[in-house]
A and B are shown apart, each in its own frame.
Chain A
Amino acid sequence: MDSFRQGNIVKPYERLDREQIDHLHRASMEILTDPGIWCYNAKAAELFGTHGATVDKEEGGGSPCWRVRIPEKLIMEAISRAPSHIVLGARDRSNRLDINAAVPRVYFGTGSETNVWLETEMEEYVAAAGGESRLLPRFIEKRGSTQLLARAARLAEQLEHLDFFIRPVNIQDEDITEANHDVNKFFASLNNITKHVQAGLTSLDALDDVVKMAEIIAGGSEALRENPIVSFIACVFKSPLQLVNDTADKVFAIVDKGLPLVISSSPQGGSSAPIQESGMVAQINAEILTGIALTQLIKAKTPVMYGSVPVRARLDDLNDLYGCPEFNQYNVDCAQMARFYGLPCYSSTGVANAKVPGMQAAVEKLFSHLYMAASGAQYIHYAFGLLDRTNTFSPLQAVLDNEQIGMAKHCMRPAVINGETTAEAVDMERKVMQTTHRLFTRHTRKPMRAGLVSEPYRFESKDMQDRVLEKAHARLQELEARPARHLEDEIIDQIYDAVPGLLERLRT
């Protein structure tokens, strides 16, 4: 049955005009021929070479490196083979994502791999004068773990505006090693959420086991390709313009498995890319297109997304600066470039520089959530719970973001204005103006029941206090108390039998 998460089809906000897109395209193509890219992967360099790129060994330096100058023809022919329409599967088929470059249907999800999980406890404080009491948050930092990742997945299952899951916290348990990292992170996710699960691969050696796990859950090899419940992120470029050896190896292997992947790049404007919009977008576009071309040279029609994560440096310490206008500008430009090439776009939104939930985080996230919802990028990650740039995941913040994204999605709903609705409106005007009270309130019932009228902010207070965090915390507790949608016991047993390295404590 063809059922998918609904997403939001938006009328895309277009920051760039066609002439500006052409300028950026030309600049990207020029960058790829001169200076070209620095390719640290022999197989990739050879593949580009056999398809018309100029490949020269770079002398000196540590790791073997080839300077690859890629002609426009190679790039354009290769990316034309990439499918514009892909399906990302899910344990619950109604949670699948229908991703089409030609349709600006927007989905929001989590990311990235933060190290810190921010727990919130509400504590009662009594005013010295007057004795009035209030609940205020106390924040506790915890190192990410498999149990916390499982908790994040269970919460993500319950957030209605969250469409897909990228692990938001790095697993740092003492018994997690490089060898068992991937299987445990995928299992902790898949056993706790029925939405699409996506992650990077820590170790290439784990790919077979991860795919085996996904095949058991999906119901076999063919069933997994038809309903790919997992997909992968490959950040194949280290900006500027350096194609990384081990990630390129992972790209070869993932493509070989026939599963979807994202080719992502995350240059920082002001350090690893120009801070100027034209330079940033031209460079990231060149990097992503090269990665996508590589996937299609390996195997045509590989399902792949244009993964743009352009960020900006803050100029006082050169850390990433989110929640700033340039982050939105870079990202919306990339969404337009992806649309220009007919490629589905993986984009970014909603990261806060703030270290804890509060007004700063709300301000920084709001502009980005709303702006990127309008971009028409199909698959927008980073949207839930990220604080302190991408270093902290807060489940409380994820609950707050869920409400904010819900409102952004509602804002972006298409206008329902046609002959029928305007005729209804005129009729209503006539009817109401015949009454003494001239109120339209009664006529709000139909759209209200149809879900067309938005609700007030869930965490509003009716008294003179701001109780947003207190109310969101209560909501978080309510969501976390709901039962998890685990895999069936029989499936779990099969996975534990077939996949080595899984931690016993993750069974439930």
Chain B
Amino acid sequence: MKTNELLENIAINVVQGRVEAEDEGFDEGFEGRPAVTELVEEALEKGIEPEKILLEGLTASMAVVGEKFESGEYLIPDMLAAAEAVGAGMDILTPHLVKAGVESKGKFVIATVAGDLHDIGKNIVAIMLKGAGYEVIDLGVDVSVDTIIATVKEQQAPYLGLSALLTTTMRNMEEVVEKLKGEGIRDQVRICIGGAPTSKQFSEKIGADGYCSDAFAALDWAKAQAAA
């Protein structure tokens, strides 16, 4: 397969939301054919530059996916499948990108705060951010304030996302913000919050930088921070 053909094929498989060969696509007839994982590996073997694979194969096609979702052709599972496919490609590419000195869109630490085990929304945000080219450091659920602070410091992450589903645990978000202030690093990280009981007003009250009602809002928020 020629370079352009291979990159185009990767892009097609992102739009189809296919991580590996056994996956079905949005359209019929893809099952059993090489998908993003196999094609990215093949591209690397052929010596195609990792950055070219990233930009022309993986991330560019997410714009098409976004348009299909906007038009109603795609539903959330299609969107997430595409983002997962990009994420799987990124996992293979990352060591090569690092070696080549190519930077990601930025490190994004994400966590469900202490006392809270709910993570569906947080996980969707993580998949979408990864699919959009961010380096996502997902700390999981029930994450202590100290762990969050330590990770932000250690990774020098410019973005932090906090999630909570319970009114009893959402107050721990405020503690994270306060402790970042106490550590003197509040200005180095932009914080967004999300989860059913949270709101724009709550975000402002606790001194976070943004409230995201869903994964798409999180993507828009991250994009806006980079542009600011």
A-side residues, CB < 8 A to B, are 435-439, 441-446, 448-449
Residue numbers in B under 8 Å from A445 (CB-CB): 17, 24, 26, 77-78, 81
Residue numbers in B under 8 Å from A449 (CB-CB): 24
Q: A442-B81, A445-B81 are in contact. List 7 more A-B contacts (CB 8 A).
A: A437-B126, A437-B127, A439-B80, A441-B76, A441-B77, A442-B77, A445-B78
Residue interface mask B122-156, A partner, CB < 8 A = 1: 01101100000000001000000000000000000
Asked if B120 lies at the interface with its beta carbon under 8 angstroms from chain A, I say: yes
Inter-subunit contact A438/B78 (CB<8 Å): no
Inter-subunit contact B123/A446 (CB<8 Å): no
- Which residues in window 69-87 of B have CB below 8 A to A? 75-78, 80-81, 84
Point out which of A439, A442, A443, A444 has the most chain B C-beta atoms below 10 A from its C-beta: A442
Residue of A nearest to B136 (CB): A436
B-side residues, CB < 8 A to A, are 17, 19, 24, 26, 75-78, 80-81, 84, 119-120, 123-124, 126-127, 138
Residue numbers in A under 8 Å from B138 (CB-CB): 436-437
| A-B complex: 3 closest residue pairs judged by Cβ atoms | A437-B123, A442-B81, A444-B77
Inter-subunit contact B120/A439 (CB<8 Å): yes
Inter-subunit contact B24/A442 (CB<8 Å): no
A465 nearest CB across to chain B (Å): 20
A441 and B80 contact, Cβ closer than 8 Å, known pairs A436-B138, A448-B75:
yes
Q: List 22 A-B contacts (CB under 8 A).
A: A436-B123, A436-B126, A437-B126, A437-B138, A438-B119, A438-B123, A439-B120, A441-B76, A441-B77, A441-B80, A441-B124, A442-B19, A442-B80, A442-B81, A442-B84, A443-B77, A445-B17, A445-B24, A445-B78, A445-B81, A448-B75, A449-B24
Residue of B nearest to A436 (CB): B138
Q: Please report the C-alpha to C-alpha distance between residue A449 and residue B27 in the assembled complex, in whole angstroms.
A: 9
Q: Please report the C-alpha to C-alpha distance between residue A444 and residue B77 in the assembled complex, in whole angstroms.
A: 7
The one of A437, A438, A448 in contact with B77, judged by C-beta atoms closer than 8 angstroms, is: A448
Q: Please report the C-alpha to C-alpha distance between residue A436 and residue B123 in the assembled complex, in whole angstroms.
A: 8
Residue of B nearest to A439 (CB): B123
Residue numbers in B under 8 Å from A442 (CB-CB): 17, 19, 77, 80-81, 84
The one of B19, B24, B80, B124 in contact with A446, judged by C-beta atoms closer than 8 angstroms, is: B24
B75 nearest CB across to chain A (Å): 7
Residue numbers in A under 8 Å from B24 (CB-CB): 445-446, 449
Q: Please report the C-alpha to C-alpha distance between residue A448 and residue B26 in the assembled complex, in whole angstroms.
A: 10
A405 nearest CB across to chain B (Å): 24
Q: Please report the C-alpha to C-alpha distance between residue A437 and residue B75 in the assembled complex, in whole angstroms.
A: 19
B1 nearest CB across to chain A (Å): 26
Residue of A nearest to B85 (CB): A442
Inter-subunit contact A439/B127 (CB<8 Å): yes
